[in-house]
Amino acid sequence: MLIVVLIFVTTYIIIISEKINRTSIALLGAVLLMIFNIINQEEAINHIDFNTIGLLIGMMIVVNIMKRSGIFTYVAIRAAKIAKGDPWKIIVVFSIITAVFSALLDNVTTILLVVPVTLVITDTLEMNPTPFLIPMVLFANIGGTATLIGDPPNIMIGSAAGLGFTDFLLNLGPVVLVIFIVTILILKYTGSNNFHVDEVKKKKIMAFDEKLAIKDLALLKKSLFVLAMTIVGFMFHQSLGYDSATIALLGASVLLVISQIDPEEVLIEIEWPTIFFFVALFILVGGLQEVGIIDFLASKLLDITNGNLFATTMFVLWGSAIASAFLDNIPFVATMIPLIKSIAVLASLNVTPLWWALALGACLGGNGTLIGASANVIVGGMLEKHGYKLSFAKYMKTGFPIMLVSISISSVYLAVFYF
């Protein structure tokens, strides 16, 4: 047991420190479990959640083909023109777009596609892009919380708990909508709408031709059709008896066929390091399960909360939020999933509220700091390349209070509707 703890803790510390590539160190940790005969190769493979892996790969293929059409640039330019070049209105419209795209695709992809266009718009307005991009980060994480496919932690939770796209939308959609509105109001009344741009610069925005952004109209139509059918498939996959990964891979394969794009070109753009990071995490956590550590932690958590479901739910919600603000939420959720399953067995509880608490805490907690979620880190890097520095403290000044408000709203929501 000591060797497992040593490998697991050392691996996580190195992942958090970011001194070594997280996929490399996670794979090494996973293989060491097999080298020390803690689990054999067959057991390691059995611990990999192939539904999560398949869903991630399927959606990555769909997005990688879809982005070739130019749809994301088109929507961003069109939105800026609808806002008539007004900075605060642009922030609001882009926040809505970011939240919706993040819910239907994933938040990291959304940020990678929308931020470059935002930088072009802020350059045209001759403004610092930071006040535009911080809200986009916040709403990427908020929007991604609402659906099964919006954020990797939700994909993992949905697969482990047997919760589908509709389950996430019906249970988390309402509270996410409230958090979205409250966050907009907070940003509006804390000085984020204090912009002044002359009419000449606004006219430059209105002169953009969004139609030029469309690179392949036929591909755009095919991509939107397949995306729409895939989302419909997600809504009915449970009643049809299919796993969510099957639906995602069906959409991906159909789009590959009808787009006639060379699969090698598409597959090479898949985020394989992320996929292997997930594989390694499943094996690492599987090692903890094999030696009984997860059951031990679950029993200790039940001791702390006296087995009370409400107290355990609040503990999971706030603990996940604080942890996800400072740690990578993917390995955290990978550890929490078997722990919650163990609680269900040990205490004979209906742990459904715990799944929603984990999803809300892990996804919304990422808004707390600049390192809380992958989308935050990416935006920080893109700003730096563009000549602007977004410090940890500056982001936290906006992000952490909004995260606390979001989790407070989530606490009330869970207390009212699940107890």
Amino acid 145: pLDDT: 94
**Closest-CA residue to 39 (of 373, 392, 280):** 280
> What's the average model confidence in pLDDT over 312-341?
87
Is the pLDDT assigned to residue 196 strictly greater than 80? no
CB atoms within 10 A of CB 271: 15
268-281 per-position pLDDT tens digit: 988 888 889 889 98
Q: What is the DSSP string of 187-250?
A: HIIIIIT-----HHHHHHHHT--GGGG-S-HHHHHHHHHHHHHHHHHHHHHHHHT--HHHHHHH
Amino acid 291: pLDDT: 84
Contacts of 6 (CB under 8 A, 6+ apart): none
Q: What is the DSSP string of 100-116?
A: HHHHHS-HHHHHHHHHH
Amino acid 193: pLDDT: 57
The residue assigned the tokens 């399927």 is 58
Helix count and strand count (H, E) for the chain: 21, 0
Is the pLDDT assigned to residue 195 strictly greater than 80? no
Tokens of 234: 């997600």
Residue 199's pLDDT band (boundaries 50, 70, 90)? confident
Is the pLDDT assigned to residue 68 strictly greater than 60? yes
201-240 per-position pLDDT tens digit: 888 888 888 888 888 999 999 999 998 999 888 888 878 8
Report in angstroms the alpha-carbon separations of 378 from 114, 196, 383, 384. 12, 28, 9, 10
Amino acid 168: pLDDT: 94
146-172 per-position pLDDT tens digit: 998 888 889 889 988 989 889 999 999
CB atoms within 10 A of CB 188: 13
Q: Tell me what percent of the residues of the chain surpass a pLDDT of 70.
A: 99
Amino acid 192: pLDDT: 55
Contacts of 118 (CB under 8 A, 6+ apart): 76, 94, 129, 132, 133, 136
Core vs surface per residue 194-213: b (16+ CB within 10 A) or e = ebebeeeebeebeebebeeb
> What's the average model confidence in pLDDT over 120-144?
90
**For residues 192 and 10, which has the higher predicted lDDT (pLDDT)?**
10
Amino acid 258: pLDDT: 95
Residue 191's pLDDT band (boundaries 50, 70, 90)? low
Using the 8-state DSSP alphabet, how is residue 151 labeled? S
357-405 per-position pLDDT tens digit: 999 999 999 899 887 887 887 888 888 888 888 888 889 999 999 999 9
Amino acid 174: pLDDT: 96
Amino acid 33: pLDDT: 93
Tokens of 33: 């479990």
330-366 per-position pLDDT tens digit: 778 888 898 898 888 888 888 999 999 999 999 999 8
Amino acid 194: pLDDT: 63
Is the pLDDT assigned to residue 113 strictly greater than 80? no
